[in-house]
Structure 1
């Protein structure tokens, strides 16, 4: 993709523990096409995709691997009663995001939320403080039935849950949006799809091939795998992003 003055967006699909894939994508873009990251107008995401949008500058997968190790301590992984994933995510954000993260994110980061009262999608892009930003990200990751508590409340005095339930890839319909997903499908950067897939579905704006490999990825999204598997996902993200750049003239 040649550098130009044209405006563009980047949108990350929600994908749970498959977020390690995004670390590889980021590493490739940072090394080979940094202008794509520096010049992006809107960074959009739902659930773990929103987390990736918020930590674009972290340049590291180390804490994701640590999260996986913590999740695997319980017999049932992340759904074990002794495991508090939201607490781990909050600690990660508090540690990795700078104190002025809300200023850097306002007007640039668009977090997808689902309003509990009517199921409507809400995109939040203005944040009053670092805590306000973190709370929005926590809400966007809150998948009902996966966590012990019922709802998380954002600062607008509304109840919200996982943004992936209403719009899993914000601004994906715009031609100038680079869509990124760890599921094989029609996203701009995604794993190469097997020719042996049964059908294509759209899960709240994310194209997903129905095949056995994607079915396995769904399981990994909810149940964290070994750190070695996460590292492999990171490598695959790098390779797929490199292929995207090559096909688009970079």
Structure 2
């Protein structure tokens, strides 16, 4: 997954002029502000901090935004699309970590992260999540049959939306000891793996630069090569949320958010 080394290339980039464009994977969508969540593993919580600020700054107007995301960023975009309260999502995650005794496991999240994320999404997403996301949220996955990046935006149920998120975040073997995830009969892996190798986000994920991309932007939180999949204690996670929130505040003060999303 991409980490902070992508920051100078993709995070909070100014969008190109918005226009209606056909998409090879997914539905045709009208012009609207776009927000993209980049990959980053546990760095999801930093992205969630950005979303928390955006929710407070823009409120109900976010309901008209288009969303995209890959891997951890798919979770970010899904929570944003469904107006999930970030603090409540954090509380739920910490409770599940305790219930599953994650801090007592010598191998941390390895092999169990998938089922915990599934349970977490099932609890924090509203019953109407599929309706809120259909034709509006594009989740990036890597098709193992063609190795092409595919964007999913048709969700028949909340369960299917959860499945799409887990397919997008599927690091082979790490989530559940399996080499791939299965979604609607096809095999997929993490939607940001190639981005990590290339060192930049794909054009499909950024909609050719039209979407505002959020991905970890804090040198103090640099996690190194494998830190993005390491378990963090609650204090560290809260710090990540606060850092993301503060970053969004700085973007707002610089006028970046208003240029992209308009005023309240």
Query: Could you tell me whether the CA contact under 8 Å between 1:68 and 1:227 is conserved in 2?
Result: no
Do 1:113 and 1:139's aligned partners in 2 also have CA atoms closer than 8 Å?
A: yes
Cα deviation, residue 94, structure 1: 1.3
Q: How does 1:6-85 map to 2 (within 5 A)?
A: 7-34=32-59, 37-40=62-65, 42-56=66-80, 57-60=83-86, 61-66=90-95, 69=98, 70-79=101-110, 84-85=112-113
Flag the 1:26–1:20 CA change in 2: closer, same or farther, 3 A: same
Q: What's the Cα RMSD here?
A: 2.4
TM-score when scaled to structure 1?
0.77
Cα distance in 2, alignment partners of residues 240 and 150 from structure 1: 35
Pick closer, same or farther for the CA change 1:85–1:141 going to 2, 3 Å: same
Shift of 1:66: 3.9
After superposition, the C-alpha distances for 1:34-77 in whole angstroms (9 at most, x for unaligned) are 3662331x211111111121122111222333455543220121
CA distance in 1, matches of 2:41, 2:167: 14
**Cα distance in 1 for residues equivalent to 2:194 and 2:227:** 21
Q: Secondary structure at the match of 2:138?
A: strand
2:181 equivalent in structure 1: 152
| C-alpha distance in 2 between matches for 1:98 and 1:19 | 20
Unaligned runs of 5+ in 2: 1-13, 15-30, 196-200, 259-264
TM-score scaled by length of structure 2:
0.73
The CA deviation at 1:11 is 0.4
Deviations for 1:152-209, whole angstroms, at most 9, x for unmatched residues?
2101x11111111245564425343111001xxxxxxx33x6xxxxxxxxxxxxxxxx
Query: Which of the pair is proportionally richer in helix?
Result: 2
Name whichever of 170-179 and 222-231 sits farther off. 170-179
Q: Distance in 2 between matches of 1:26 and 1:217?
A: 24
Higher-strand-fraction structure: 1
CA distance in 2, matches of 1:62, 1:218: 28
2:191 to 151, 163, 185: 163
In structure 1, distance between residues paired with 2:225 and 2:62: 28
